[in-house]
Structure formats: C-alpha cells, structure tokens
Structure 1
C-alpha cells in the first residue's frame, strides 16, 4: 500500500505504478557478449577480427554509459521503514530532477537503503549535502553510489486492475531462515495478521536466506504485516515490505509423452 515514486517520463506514457519490482535493482555491467567465430578461411578471420573490435567498442561504450549513470546516482541508507519512495524522492527533488528512486530492504538492519538517480551529476553532488537530514525517525546517510539502477523486467509487474489489487494484499518478506518452512510462515502471519490466501517461498543454494511473497485475503492484513519487520523467525529477523509484484498462480506443466 506504500506510495511509490514514478518518474514523469514513465507516468506520462501511462505506466504509472509499473516501474519497480522487489527484485531487480542492481545493474550488471559485465553482460556484454562478443559475437563472431572464424570458419577456417581468410574471410572468416577478417570477420572475427572485425566483430571483436566492434565488441570492444560496444563494451567500452556501454561501460562509459554505465559509469556516467553511476555518477548521477547516490546511495541513501538508514531509511525509516515507514518512508515511501515518493517521500524519499520528494526530499531530494530540491537537488535536481529525479529520474528513478528505488528503496530496498537491508537484511542486516531494521532500516532500509535506496538508490536515487538524477538527470545530471550536479543533482547527485547536491544530494550529498542532505546527509543527516531527518526523514521519519532517523537521519539519512547519503553517499556516491557504486552501482546504477537496472531497468525492471516488465513481465513481473501488474498487468491489470485485478493484479494491482493483488499487490495491495501482498507483502514481500526477506531474510527468512532456511530452516523455516512454508507452513511455519503461513502459521505465523495468520496468527498475527489474518488469513493467508496464497504464499510463495523462494530460495536457492547460492543464498544463505530465502524470500517469500505472502498474499492475504484482506488488504488490512497486509498492512498489519508490515509491522512484523524485525520479528525473529527461527534464528533471523525477517524484513517485510509492500510487494510491487502479484503472486500469480503457477502455470501447470505439460506432461511429456
């Protein structure tokens, strides 16, 4: 239910509310691939050399563009759980036009952090002067960012009004102890907040914790669940934030015959 920041360029094209997800927020600068392989003749070798040169040029161009975006971006930490993206962007709008604002959960703190991108480097430099400003109950810290904000995969965003209503009933829970089962999470939230309609517990072998999307029957239950951030389940304090993506029913797999 938190109000999210939506850039004017996105809102003007009718994409209001569809710019962020809970997942994709750091840009990978190393995803440029090189094309072209020699086929054993002179023409093939020439083609390979040309393509490699083009690949290096594209790589340098991409890196330069990424570095330019990073210089326009600041990292903000110690953000109160109750602060919305809209409020955070409102604090920094005096520094310059804000292109993007992305708040993320911090698994090591009850507070959160964010990345804010401006249209120019002057805005990012001016934003550094707001370090120590009270927002909510805590003074925020502002530092130059080391990463850019990546574009969001649009397939995860709400596609219609029904899915936007689903988001209003859904919370995004992180820092979940791997010993905690789906039944444990369902029991906890139903005991404290209200009836759970759908729950998706996710994780892999590469991360020490898991995440979950919990959809309640009532939106009021999702709002109440936000107060559970910091509660210890198993051996770890969970982090709870509003979900920006709906929990869609799984598509049944087709049997192979």
Structure 2
C-alpha cells in the first residue's frame, strides 16, 4: 500500500488568520523534505533570524554612542518661526548649562521643533517645567527627547570673519528633483532673488532627491530665497533654510 503524502501548504494545515512566508512557496511539498519547517501556528510570525539579530546590535551601537546624550536632551515642539536658537537657549539657560541648541523645520512654517542638550541629566527635569510657556505667539511643548543631537562637523563651519559674512549670504536647499542640474538652480534663484555667486549641488544614490548650497551677492537676496521654500523646482517642492556653512569649493 502506497504511503500517504501530505501537503503542509494545504489550507487545513494553516491556522485561521495566519499566512506563510513567500519564501516557503518554492519549497518541496512533502513533509520529509521539510525537516526545519516551523511548527503549526508559527507561519504568520516567521522572521529571518539574521535580520532579527541585526536590529539589536545596531540599536546597542547607537545607544553606546549617543545614549548619555539622549538622557541630557529635551525636545521642544510648536516653536514659533520668529524664535531663534539664541532666544530659545536664553529661555532655558536657568535650567542648567546648555551644550547645544538646534532649531529644525521649515523657517516659513508656523510650527517648528528644537532640541536642547544640557551638561547633566538633572537639567532636563528642570527644563520640562517650561512646558506650556508662551514663546512668541504659541505655547511650546517640552518633553524628554528620544534622540540625541548629532555633533556638528566643525570643519564645515565658518573659520574666518570673511567666511562668516559669506555664510550669512548662503542658503541651504533640500528636496531638489534629481533631474534638476546646477544651471537650473542658478537660473531659478537668480530670477526669483538676485545674483548668485556660488552654487554647490550634491546628490548620491542613497537619497531620492538632491541638496544644494547657494551663495548670493547680497544678504537681502539670501533672505528673499527663504520665501521660496515650498516652490516647485522640477517636480518637487524645495525646502530653503539659512546655511550654517559657507560654500568653499569653486563652481
């Protein structure tokens, strides 16, 4: 009598509401060919063991590198567009020694967010008491941060008074359509804002859009360029913010 061979992929062997991974669809159908098949009921929770191990290692590495910084950092949201990093730091200076302060988001947006890192963890608890404080037109929300402020590469910052002045005439543009070239960027900003002296356009395979640094001939033109945030350059709306670094390379 021929031995009955069962198909583990049959519906009656899969618990209701569960599926099985696509990688198993190409496996042989006989039980004898599946010595490492997962137990019934575990198909829907199947995970690659290599992927399952990689995440904790990556998280542990980040925790080791920035873990202490996170516990000393607060996150502030609903930051008015008129609030600068200097004025924000001035509000929280009595909470403790401030190591770094960053305001993020579109400068033309009514609501931005910020991070402040203190020298010690106790300062965070004192800073949280400012939750709900009116700052500009809106009350800010203050809470412990879940991420650390990534240190700035000081080699990109202005080194001389001349570079500091050029930095004030420079803007940073993000979310640029990759079909847009350097000349397109120049024509766009010269038409909208004024004469452009330098441009640095950067792109790579890991990002779906490009970034650029544009230096203008006058500070007034750089201020006007901030109003271009949200305008279409190619097929994407660009984001324009003041630059913290001058354009050093000649283009």
TM-score (normalizing by structure 2): 0.66
Residue correspondences, number:
194
**Partners in 1 of 2:202 and 2:110 — Cα distance?**
21
- State how 1:163-242 maps to structure 2 within 5 Å: 163-242=163-242
Q: Give the structure 2 partner of residue 146 of structure 1.
A: 146
Please give the residue correspondences for 1:17-96 in structure 2 after superposition, counting only pairs within 5 Å: 63=64, 66-96=66-96
Bigger Rg, which one: 2
Residues 134/233 of structure 1: CA separation in 2 closer, same or farther (3 Å cut): farther
Shift of 1:199: 0.9
CA distance in 2, matches of 1:229, 1:140: 24
Determine which structure has greater relative contact order: mean sequence separation of CA pairs < 8 Å that are 6+ residues apart, divided by chain length. Answer: 1
Shift of 1:184: 2.6
Displacement after TM superposition at 1:123 (Å): 1.7
Residue aligning to 2:125: 125
Write the distance in 2 (CA, Å) between the matches of 1:213 and 1:111. Answer: 24
Please provide the CA RMSD for this pair.
3.0
212 and 242 in structure 1: CA distance in 2 versus 1, 3 angstrom threshold? same
Q: Are residues 203 and 133 of structure 1, via their aligned partners in 2, closer, same or farther at CA, if it must alter by over 3 Å? A: farther
* Cα distance in 2, alignment partners of residues 110 and 204 from structure 1: 31
Separation (CA, whole Å) in 1 of partners of 2:209 and 2:131:
31
